[in-house]
Every structure is written in C-alpha cells, then in structure tokens.
Structure 1
Amino acid sequence: MLGVLDTAKARVLAAESSLDLVEISTESDPPVAKILNHQKWLFQQKKAHAAKPPREKGARIQDVRMRAGISDTDYEVKAASVRRFLAEGSKVKVAVKFRSHEDATPEIADPLLKKVAADLSDIAVIESDPKPRGRSFVMTLAPAKSA
C-alpha cells in the first residue's frame, strides 16, 4: 500500500514494475487504483467463476394434459410420465381438457384427477387441489419429501 500518489507517479511505478495501473473505485475522493497484472487478474476472475457450482434451477413445472374420456392404456402412459417427472424432482401440472360439449359436465374431471393423485400418492403430494381453469380442470402435484 503506497498511500495517496499523483497519477503520473503511479503510472511510472506501474511501468517500472511491468504492471498495469487499474482504477478500482471512481466515486471515492481521491479515486482508488491498484498496480497489478490486469491479464492475470482477469484470468483468475474467470477461473474463480468457472469453479463455482452451477446455480440450481428453480422448481420446474412439467405439464401433462389428458382428455376427459381418456382410455385406460393412455391413462397408464400419462401416469408413467407423471411418475417419471416427479422422480426427477419436478412439479407436475395435470390438466384435464374439455372439448365442445364435455365442458357441460365438469364433474367427470374431478374423479380422474383424484385417481391420478391416488395412484401416485406414494411419490407425490397434492400441491393444489383440482380447480377449473377455462376449458380444463388443473391440479398440481409435487414430489413427496423422502424421509
């Protein structure tokens, strides 16, 4: 630490040492500067940034859509997809879509969504109960906490 120096004198000291004069803080009075190897400092910053673990992604929400009159085999395929998404740690939004006259009988969606929740109760918890949204009923499942 050299204290307060004239800019010209600081440049001469940096040149004699074959280093760079780098301004650290411009807002302070007098401005703060360091004598250092700027390329080496940049490399160290880049290396430190690369060594940090990647940031975790927020809870992803996967979307699985079913029709109100889904067949048993199609239901099993959709349930297997939901199970896989939950095993990966994602939340799953299960939607039962209605077409044309089906939206006149929304009560057929509730048992289907409850069946999904019951079939997956070993690995999932209901985060939001079945609710109507436009021309569909939606329920959100989250992975169960393993103890």
Structure 2
Amino acid sequence: MALAESQQLDLVEVSPTAVPPVCRIMDYGKFKYQQSKKQQEAKKKQVQVQLKEVKLRPKTDEHDLQFKIKHVRRFLEEGNKAKVTVVFRGREITHMDLGQSALDKFAAELQDIALIEVKQKMEGRSMFMIVAPKTKTK
C-alpha cells in the first residue's frame, strides 16, 4: 500500500479468491472510465432486430399478395423478422384452408431468403407465421 501511495495510484485487488490474493497498482478511476467506454462501443455495434407485421385476409387477391410478399422481402433484406398474419372476420373462420394456402404461398415465395421461425399457428381469429432472414455464412 505504501508503494501505491508513493506513486499516487490505487492498490486494486484483482483476484480475491486466489491464494495468495492478487493485487495490482493502477489508477482505478482511469480503469473504470476505459471500461465504460468499451461497453459503449460494444453497444454501438449491436443490431436491434425488429418484428415487422403484414396483415392479410383470406380473400386477398393475387396481385395484393405479391405486393405484400415484396414488402416482407424488403423487411428480411434489412435484417428484420416479419410476422405474416391472416385475419378472419365473421364467417371467414370456416374457410381456414384459404388462410393456410395464403401463408403457404408466402413461405414458397420467400424460401430463398427466409427461414420459417414459427410455423402456421392459430391465435383467436387470426392465423400467423413468423419468418426470419437466412444467416449469411461466409
């Protein structure tokens, strides 16, 4: 401790569980500052993946489906996940096969750039699936 005080630095215990305990002479304030800067840099490089949603109806026409597929393709290329939802209203709930065929069409059109993360699932009066971009392996 006298050696650390003579150099106007701090005596920091690095590994208290070791036998004997390991200590280091350093400027503790500067050390904490550098650690916080490293953490901030790591946060900057993080990528936030968002979940974008596209809603359909069972009777959605072919052209409109292609338009929505183009939107989902763009979402996936940006690195986001996409949730494709088919909403059933009124008596449409009896024709779930139309909703399933729409989601199957989405899956077939996007199979080159997307992985199906969550298969077709019913939740209340809507059926949905979640697609994620394929990871680029180099």
Normalised TM-score (structure 1) = 0.66
SS at match of 2:14: strand
Query: What is aligned with 1:5?
Result: none
Query: What is aligned with 1:95?
Result: 85
2:45 aligned with 1:54, yes or no? yes
2:116 aligned with 1:114, yes or no? no
1:19, 1:145 → 2: CA distance? 48
SS at match of 1:102: helix
Moved more, 27-36 or 95-104: 27-36
2:113 aligned with 1:123, yes or no? yes
Query: What is aligned with 2:28?
Result: 38
Higher radius of gyration, 1 or 2: 1
2:135, 2:23 → 1: CA distance? 52
- Which ranges in structure 1 are unaligned for 5 or more consecutive residues? 1-9
Residues 34 and 127 (structure 1 numbering): CA distance in 2 closer, same or farther, change over 3 Å?
closer
Residue identity over aligned pairs, in percent, reads: 38
Normalised TM-score (structure 2) = 0.69
Residues 48 and 126 (structure 1 numbering): CA distance in 2 closer, same or farther, change over 3 Å?
closer
Question: How many Å apart are 1:141 and its aligned residue?
Answer: 2.9
Question: How many Å apart are 1:135 and its aligned residue?
Answer: 1.2
1:122, 1:28 → 2: CA distance? 54
Number of equivalent positions: 136
Question: How many Å apart are 1:113 and its aligned residue?
Answer: 1.7
By relative contact order (CA 8 Å, sep 6+), the higher-ranking structure is 2
Residue in structure 1 matching 2:10, options 4, 20, 24: 20
Residue in structure 2 matching 1:68, options 58, 67, 86: 58
Query: What is aligned with 1:84?
Result: 74
Residues 50 and 138 (structure 1 numbering): CA distance in 2 closer, same or farther, change over 3 Å?
closer
- Which ranges in structure 2 are unaligned for 5 or more consecutive residues? none
Residue in structure 2 matching 1:133, options 116, 123, 126: 123
Kindly provide the CA deviation profile for residues 79-108 of structure 1, in whole angstroms up to 9, marking residues without a partner as x.
Answer: 221111121233322110111221122122
